[in-house]
Amino acid sequence: MTMTAVLALAVGVFLVRLAGPLMRSRINVSERSETLMKRGAIVVLAALVVTGALFADGGFAGWALPAGVLVGGLLAWRRAPILIVVVAAAGTTALLRLGGIA
């Protein structure tokens, strides 16, 4: 990989990031489209949660990972602070793996 490739990726990624706000600035953002765009981002983030919890390297990630995310999710639902949620999720997954559960 060369510096040219590094710059190419940087430019490509920047253009992707630029696409959203540029589209936004071209439309008249109504309250309804604002709601819809925010909902869209939430939907993508939620999908990222699910795929991130279930899959790794193109296959099922094993039980330790979704179990940890589930513990974190339950704590978040019970309104635990974010820090607790994240530490509990990582801790659960790490301990399960330590115990031999993939």
Partner 1 sequence: MPPRFIPERDRGVFRDALAMSIGICIVGVSFGALATSAGLPWWIPVAMSFLTFAATSQFAMLAVVMAGGGVIAGLAAGVLVHLRHIPYGLAVGNLYWDKWWTRLLGTFMLIDQSTAFALAAGDDRRRAKAAYWITTLIMFVAWNLGTVIGVLAGGFIPDPDVFGLDAAFPALLLALVMPALKDHDTLLAALVGAAIAAATAPFLPTGIPVLLALIGLLATWPRRKPKEDAA
**Near partner 1 in 11-40, by CB under 8 A:** 12-14, 16-21, 23-25, 29, 32, 36-40
Distance separating alpha carbons of residues 71 and 46, to the nearest angstrom: 16
How many residues line the site for partner 1 (CB under 8 A)?
73
Among 26, 28, 30, 45, binds partner 1 (CB under 8 A): 45
Biggest CA pair distance of the chain: 55
Q: How far is the CB of 100 from partner 1 (least distance, A)?
A: 13
**Near partner 1 in 57-96, by CB under 8 A:** 58-61, 64-65, 68-69, 71-73, 75-77, 81-83, 85-95
| 3-class secondary-structure state, position 55 | strand
Q: How far is the CB of 85 from partner 1 (least distance, A)?
A: 5
Q: How far is the CB of 3 from partner 1 (least distance, A)?
A: 7
- Locus of tokens 């296959």: 59
Q: Helical H runs in 1-102?
A: 3-26, 31-54, 64-77, 82-98
Of the candidates 84, 53, 86, the residue with the CA atom closest to the CA atom of residue 67: 53
Q: Does position 101 bind partner 1 by CB under 8 A?
A: no
